[in-house]
């Protein structure tokens, strides 16, 4: 695709026109900018007023979105068209939480998901009636990060009916640390793997099975239930299915959310789905110019392709959301870390920036120096909650004042006669406020990010739903196991030297 056909050159000319504009200047020159650049969707409020585009540049972004037929793209997603073209699959995580499409594939997916949730409710009730106190969830990537985030965000200050623990890393130290304080007689385990072929989960599953002394209290979630049952001799009634039309990083809404249901109750899990469904309706039905997923996705495209910014941070001003950056790293970077378009041709513009971040206010005392005065500009999402649920009102005020202060200082900077004390400003951010942290608002927030990712993928013309890039490392690791055991020789000379050192 030529640069002019790509639609990105227009954005770059707007960026050149705006290169001398300050964020404060944009606010002064555009009366009504604050209202025009803010959106409220259910429990979510977001303001883009501190992004570095003006109304004309925003029109150019919208024109790009229309040219890419974002509205049609949403329709195709919700209808269960096989938009994951490289794997020939539909992508129907939206059908797990709502029925916004009359298309047969979507209706069928919605119905089968409801049946599985019913079964899951039964399993939650049976476990609640047992003497089990602790749950160990074994999985990695999409089979871990979503449940881990939601459980950590929504669990109360005291343990609920169950304490839920997670093992993901293949490093045996992870399993050892989780299991050491637990009592195998009072613990049940959930092995979560879409494929049930993932090395980490199979190895950690075997550790947990042996530690439990059998498979009686092991549950499994998989798109390959037969393999799950056979690998660990798990009775069929304790195996919950998922399907190839649910991507791993989009799967917390399926039975992959079983640990969530155990931590916050099945009703809480349903509220999480309802919050996501509410956002789904917004994403699908609201016109592009007032659509929050579109706004968020196009702002990301602006920062990447018009301003050329190579990383993006997410800062959570709510300790309970501390795992959000880790979750988003997989959601965003596994989805958008692509260099070829759907047809295999090279992309016309840079795709995903590096996503990273952390929890405020801690990170203010670590990497914020670089955000304020480093040579690189890092656009950021600041996520906070209006209402806190702890009894420490003064701390909540301090937390919020820090969120406000950081976004203001990053945007406006400060001059000084001393070059060491100059803050250049011009550092864009989006502030996202949740009314309160509830299953519903968290569901909406995560759905917003999912749909923003989809918007970006459609603009870039890439497939957000495959992840071939993670395969090569897995293959090489498998091939190197015999060399590590001394049964063969590594062909790469650096690897061979390292293996010699590892083997002593
Ligand atoms: O690391 C790649 C990946 O395939 C992720 O996309 C996926 O979420 C994770 O591995 C775990 O896969 P599975 O659920 O099949 O064990």
Nearest CA-CA partner of 424 in 438, 434, 414: 414
Of the listed ranges 2-16, 112-126, 150-164, the one predicted with least confidence: 2-16
The answer to whether residue 394 scores a pLDDT higher than 70 is yes
What is the Å distance from ligand 1's center to 402 Cα?
A: 37
399-427: average pLDDT = 98
For the residues 79-104, what does the mean pLDDT come to?
Answer: 98
pTM over 0.95: yes
Per-residue pLDDT tens digits for 213-243: 999 999 999 999 999 999 999 999 999 999 9
The fraction of the chain above a pLDDT of 70, given in percent, is 99
Residue 353 lies in a domain: yes
- In percent, the amount of the chain with pLDDT more than 90 equals 97
Does ligand 1 come within 6 angstroms of the Cβ of 330?
no
Mean pLDDT of 272-279: 98
**CA of 429 relative to ligand 1 center, distance in Å:** 31
Query: Do 43 and 163 belong to one domain?
Result: no
Instruction: Grade residue 375 by pLDDT with cuts at 50, 70 and 90.
Output: very high
Label residue 427 by pLDDT band (50, 70, 90). Answer: very high
Dist. CA 141 → ligand 1 center (Å): 5
**Among all chains, which residue has been given the structure tokens 């009366």?**
31
Helix (H), strand (E) at residue 179: helix 172-179
Q: 48 with 154, same domain?
A: no
Report pLDDT for 2: 39
Q: Indicate if 234 and 333 belong to the same structural domain.
A: no
Amino acid 78: pLDDT: 98
Same domain, 237 and 308: no
Residue nearest ligand 1's atom 5 by CA: 141
CA–CA distance, 218 with 233 (Å, rounded to integer): 9
Residues 261 and 143 in one domain: yes
Catalytic residue among 200, 271, 334, 450: 334
d(C-alpha 383, C-alpha 140), whole Å: 25
Quick one: which atom of ligand 1 is closest to the CA of 251?
8
The reply to whether 81 belongs to the active site is no
Mean predicted confidence (pLDDT) in 181-204: 98
Same domain, 160 and 235: yes
**470 CB within 6 A, ligand 1:** yes
The runs of H, that is alpha helices, within 213-349 are 225-232, 258-264, 266-285, 292-301, 324-328, 335-336
Question: Does residue 399 sit in the same domain as residue 488?
Answer: no
**Position 239 in a domain:** yes
Give the residue-averaged pLDDT of 67-84.
Answer: 98
State if residue 438 touches ligand 1 by the CB under 6 angstroms criterion.
Answer: no
Q: Report whether residue 370 contacts ligand 1, using a CB cutoff of 6 Å.
A: no
pLDDT range class, residue 126, cuts 50, 70, 90:
very high
**Does residue 186 lie in a domain region?**
yes
DSSP string of 362-411?
GGGGTTHHHHHHSSS---EEEEEEEE--SS-HHHHHHHHHHHHHHHHHHH
CA distance 254 to 242: 7
Question: Does 75 map to a domain?
Answer: no
Smallest CA-to-CA distance from 218 within 237, 242, 243 is with 237
Q: Probe ligand 1: pick from 142, 202, 256, max atoms within 8 Å of CB? A: 142
Catalytic, out of 365, 420, 471, 487: 365
Would the pLDDT of 326 be above 50? Answer: yes
The yes-or-no answer on residue 28 being catalytic is no
Does residue 31 form part of some domain? no
Ligand 1 atom nearest to 249, measured from its CA: 8
The answer to whether 256 and 236 have CB atoms below 8 angstroms apart is no
Specify whether 194 is located in the same domain as 307. no
Structure tokens at 484: 């590590």
Let me know if residue 375 belongs to a domain.
Answer: yes
Question: Does the pLDDT value for residue 4 go beyond 90?
Answer: no
Instruction: Kindly state if the Cβ of 193 falls inside 6 Å of ligand 1.
Output: yes
- Predicted confidence at residue 160, as pLDDT, reads 86
Residue 490's domain comprises 472-503
Closest Cα to residue 466, out of 87, 53, 46, 124?
A: 87
- 248 Cβ closer than 6 Å to some ligand 1 atom: yes
Q: Which two tokens stand for residue 234?
A: 């798990």
Per the prediction, the chain carries an average pLDDT of 97
Residue that terminates a domain, selected from 256, 271, 286: 271
pLDDT digits 0-9 by tens, 450-486: 999 999 999 999 999 999 999 999 999 999 999 999 9
**433 belongs to a structural domain:** yes
**Cα 195 to ligand 1 centroid, rounded to whole Å:** 8
> Quick check: CB of 138 below 6 Å from ligand 1?
no
CA 269, CA 387: separation in Å to the nearest integer?
Answer: 21
What is the per-residue pLDDT for 274?
98
Please, which pLDDT band fits residue 311 given cuts at 50, 70 and 90?
very high
Query: CA 260, 264, 267, 269 torsion: positive or negative?
Result: negative
Mean pLDDT calculated for residue range 27-52: 97
Q: Identify whether the C-beta of residue 353 lies closer than 8 Å to the C-beta of residue 380.
A: no
Residue 405 pLDDT exceeds 60:
yes
For residues 213 and 151, membership in a common domain is answered with yes
334 is catalytic: yes
Q: Tell me, what CATH number does 303's domain have?
A: 3.40.50.10490
The reply to whether 260 and 327 lie within a common domain is no
Q: Are residues 246 and 161 both part of a single domain?
A: yes
At 3, the pLDDT band (50, 70, 90 cuts) reads: very low
If one counts every other C-beta atom within 10 angstroms of the C-beta of residue 440, the result is 24
Note the pLDDT of residue 7.
Answer: 83
pLDDT at 159: 81
Q: Domain total for the chain?
A: 3
Helix axes 292-301, 55-67, angle to 10 degrees: 100
In a domain, 105, yes or no: yes
Show Cβ contacts of residue 496 under 8 Å, excluding neighbours closer than 6 positions.
483, 489, 490
- 490 φ/ψ angles, rounded to the nearest 5 degrees: -75, 140
Integer Cα distance of 136 and 211 in angstroms: 11
* Residue 60 clears pLDDT 80, i.e. is over it: yes
* CA-nearest residue, atom 6 of ligand 1: 248
Q: In this structure, are 414 and 335 located in the same domain?
A: yes
Distance 467 CA to ligand 1 centre (A): 9
- Please report the pLDDT score of residue 157 as a whole number: 87
- DSSP character at residue 278: H
């Amino acid at each position: 695709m030529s640069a002019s056909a790509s639609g990105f050159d227009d954005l770059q000319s707007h960026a050149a026109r705006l290169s001398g504009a300050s964020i404060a200047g944009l606010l002064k020159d555009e009366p009504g900018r604050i209202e025009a650049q803010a959106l409220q969707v259910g429990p979510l409020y977001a303001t883009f007023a501190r992004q570095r585009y003006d109304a004309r540049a925003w029109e150019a972004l919208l024109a790009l979105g229309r040219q890419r037929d974002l509205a049609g793209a949403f329709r195709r997603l919700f209808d269960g068209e096989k938009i994951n073209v490289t794997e020939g699959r539909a992508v129907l995580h939206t059908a797990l939480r709502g029925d916004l499409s009359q298309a047969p594939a979507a209706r069928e997916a919605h119905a089968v998901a409801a049946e599985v949730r019913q079964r899951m409710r039964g399993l939650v009730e049976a476990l609640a009636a047992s003497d089990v106190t602790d749950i160990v969830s074994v999985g990695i990537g999409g089979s871990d990060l979503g449940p881990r985030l939601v459980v950590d965000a929504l669990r109360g200050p005291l343990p609920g009916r169950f304490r839920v623990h997670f093992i993901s890393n293949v490093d045996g130290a992870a399993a050892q640390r989780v299991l050491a304080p637990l009592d195998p007689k009072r613990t049940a385990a959930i092995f979560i793997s879409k494929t049930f072929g993932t090395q980490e989960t199979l190895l950690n599953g075997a550790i947990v099975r042996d530690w439990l002394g059998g498979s009686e209290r092991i549950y499994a979630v998989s798109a390959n239930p037969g393999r799950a049952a056979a690998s660990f001799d798990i009775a069929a009634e304790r195996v919950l299915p998922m399907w190839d039309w649910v991507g791993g990083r989009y799967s917390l809404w399926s039975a992959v959310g079983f640990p969530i249901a155990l931590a916050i109750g099945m009703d809480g899990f349903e509220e999480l789905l309802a919050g996501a469904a509410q956002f789904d309706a917004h994403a699908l039905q609201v016109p592009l110019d007032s659509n929050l997923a579109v706004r968020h996705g196009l702002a990301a495209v602006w920062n990447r392709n018009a301003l050329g910014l190579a990383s993006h941070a997410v800062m959570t001003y709510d300790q309970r959301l501390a795992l959000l950056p880790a979750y988003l790293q997989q959601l965003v970077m596994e989805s958008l870390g692509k260099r070829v378009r759907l047809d295999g041709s090279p992309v016309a513009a840079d795709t995903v920036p590096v996503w990273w971040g952390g929890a405020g206010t801690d990170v203010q005392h670590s990497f914020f120096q670089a955000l304020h005065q480093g040579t690189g500009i890092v656009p950021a999402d600041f996520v906070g909650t209006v209402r806190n649920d702890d009894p420490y009102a003064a701390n909540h005020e301090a937390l919020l004042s820090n969120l406000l202060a950081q976004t203001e200082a990053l945007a406006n900077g400060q001059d000084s006669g001393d070059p060491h004390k100059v803050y250049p400003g011009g550092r864009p951010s989006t502030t996202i406020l949740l009314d309160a942290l509830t299953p519903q608002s968290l569901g909406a927030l995560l759905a917003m990010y999912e749909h923003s990712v989809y918007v970006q993928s459609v603009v870039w013309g890439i497939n957000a739903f495959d992840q071939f890039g993670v395969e090569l490392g897995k293959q090489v690791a498998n091939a190197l196991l015999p060399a590590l055991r001394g049964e063969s020789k590594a062909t790469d000379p650096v690897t061979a030297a390292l293996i010699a050192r590892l083997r002593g």
